[in-house]
């Protein structure tokens, strides 16, 4: 439920709309678990809310910490028994959480573990937001030195965000909202494999979020082989949409390029990439492939990575090389994957344990 929807719901109860901001503050900033704890609301209103509404719940089933870089991979069991993963990435000057927008993914990119598990369902906006809240709660309870508040959110986990457009945008607005998580739009990055109509739609939203396009090849034949979505949105169409996004928003775009040994890391590949994006206000983010058991690929050698990078540097506006984070726990780029099998609930267990964190108010229940 958005803030406006909550305001409308409260007005229908004869309650002043400003109470919605108070409720949001309790849920998103004070991390309360039930309406009864919202002490600046009247007892009568708290009782009515308990009767008429509920607050969605999602909490990590497990958290696995990297021994090399302090990244943390969270596994969530959803209400229907499916599973998702997200990753907390501590860095020197920022704390990033990489979150999922779908259970699995339908795009079947050859190099991506999530793509190999197939698509199960879209996540609701509250399930997306809760991954950020869960990471904040973990940091609040962690004893690791340097843990602090989430500063950046990247929608680069499981799934294609722009194929779950409406719920993704609802989540982004909550993450950014002053009465919710208060993370600046410029600190939020939406990643896409290249859903052209949705890129154009996002450009017109008036948000200041960043856009990253997972490119990975600079010719249609190779990109179609790696990423079947290219059959629907060819490179010329995708690049045109990227240019429109830059023109409409005034924001530089990021092109992500996973370097796979012997597949897309040759001098010719670098030359094709420079020709394709060199005149666009952009950053090319090179990502050495992170291997996993569901594909036969291997990362490019350090020498080939550097040769590729050196060729691009004078020919593209900006070129970066992403350091692999969380690879030892299967949390690096392209490695997120669960078995996504529905698990029966044990008799006597609660659907939404009271001890778990609440993330978002669900649709109001009907009065009995």
Is residue 337 part of the annotated active site? The answer reads no
Q: Detail the DSSP E strand segments found in the chain.
A: 55-57, 60-65, 72-77, 83-90, 95-98, 102-104, 119-122, 152-155, 188-192, 210-214, 253-259, 282-288, 319-321, 358-361
Write out the two tokens for 188: 């939020």
The answer on whether 230 is annotated among ligand-binding residues is no
85 is an active site residue: yes
Determine whether the annotation assigns residue 159 to a binding site: yes
- Cβ contacts of 207 within 8 Å, gap of 6 or more: 172, 173, 176, 185
CB 159 within 8 A of CB 101: yes
88 Cα distance to chain centroid: 11
Q: Has 4 been labeled as part of a binding site?
A: no
Q: Is 160 annotated as a binding residue?
A: yes
Contact call for residues 192 and 162 (beta carbons, < 8 A): yes
215 is in an annotated binding site: yes
Pairing of strands 83-90, 95-98: antiparallel
Around Cβ 3, how many Cβ atoms within 10 Å?
18
| Catalytic-role residue among 7, 85, 127, 256 | 85
Catalytic site residue from 98, 282, 333, 337 = 333
The answer on whether 133 is annotated among ligand-binding residues is no
Question: Which residues on neighbouring strands pair with residue 122, listed in sequence order?
Answer: 102
Q: Does 316 count as an annotated binding residue?
A: no
CB of 285 closer than 8 Å to CB of 320 = yes
Q: Answer whether 100's CB lies under 8 Å from 335's CB.
A: no
- The end-to-end CA distance of the chain, in Å, is 21
The response to whether 176 counts as a known ligand-binding position is: no
Between the alpha carbon of residue 93 and those of residues 70, 146, 149, 151, 353, the distances in Å are 14, 10, 11, 9, 35
Which phi-psi region, left, alpha or beta, contains residue 113 (left: φ > 0; alpha: ψ -120 to 50)?
alpha
Give the whole-angstrom CA distance, residue 100 versus residue 357: 18
Phi, psi of 317 (to 5 degrees): -55, -40
282 assigned ligand-binding residue = no
- Known binding residue 214? Answer is yes
Instruction: Tell me the DSSP string of 1-68.
Output: --HHHHHHHHHHTT--TTHHHHHHIIIIIS--SSGGG-TTS-HHHHHHHHHH--EEE--EEEEEE-TT
Which residues carry out catalysis?
85, 333
Residues flagged as binding site? 105, 109, 112, 159-160, 191, 214-216, 290
Residues flagged as binding site for [4Fe-4S] cluster? 105, 109, 112
Residues flagged as binding site for S-adenosyl-L-methionine? 159-160, 191, 214-216, 290
């Amino acid at each position: 439920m958005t803030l406006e929807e909550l305001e409308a719901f409260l007005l229908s109860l004869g309650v002043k709309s400003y109470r919605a901001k108070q409720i949001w503050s309790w849920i998103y900033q004070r991390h309360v678990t039930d309406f009864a704890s919202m002490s600046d609301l009247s007892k009568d209103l708290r009782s009515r809310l308990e009767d008429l509404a509920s607050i969605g719940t999602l909490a990590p089933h497990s958290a696995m910490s990297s021994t090399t870089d302090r990244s943390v991979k969270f596994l969530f069991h959803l209400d229907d028994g499916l599973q998702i993963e997200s990753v907390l990435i501590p860095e020197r000057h920022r704390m990033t959480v990489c979150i999922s927008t779908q259970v699995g993914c339908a795009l079947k990119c050859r190099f991506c573990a999530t793509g190999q598990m197939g698509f199960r369902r879209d996540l609701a906006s509250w399930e997306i937001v809760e991954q950020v809240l869960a990471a904040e709660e973990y940091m609040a309870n962690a004893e690791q030195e340097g843990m602090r508040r989430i500063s950046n959110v990247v929608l680069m986990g499981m799934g294609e965000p722009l194929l779950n457009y409406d719920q993704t945008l609802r989540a982004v607005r909550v993450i950014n909202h002053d009465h919710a998580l208060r993370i600046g739009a410029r600190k939020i990055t939406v990643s896409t494999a290249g859903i052209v109509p949705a890129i154009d739609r996002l450009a017109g939203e008036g948000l200041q979020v960043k856009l990253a396009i997972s490119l990975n090849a600079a010719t249609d034949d190779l990109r179609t082989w790696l990423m079947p979505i290219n059959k629907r949105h060819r490179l010329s169409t995708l690049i045109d949409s990227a240019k429109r996004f830059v023109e409409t928003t005034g924001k530089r775009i990021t092109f992500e390029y996973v370097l796979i040994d012997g597949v897309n890391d040759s001098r010719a590949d670098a030359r094709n990439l420079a020709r394709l994006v060199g005149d666009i206000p952009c950053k090319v983010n090179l990502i050495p492939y992170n291997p996993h058991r569901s594909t036969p690929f291997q990362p490019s050698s350090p020498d080939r990575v550097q040769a590729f990078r050196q060729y691009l540097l004078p020919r593209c506006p900006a070129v970066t090389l992403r350091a692999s984070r969380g690879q030892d726990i299967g949390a690096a780029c392209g490695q997120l994957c669960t078995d996504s099998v529905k698990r029966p609930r044990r008799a006597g267990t609660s659907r939404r344990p009271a001890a778990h964190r609440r993330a978002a108010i669900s649709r109001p229940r009907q009065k009995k």
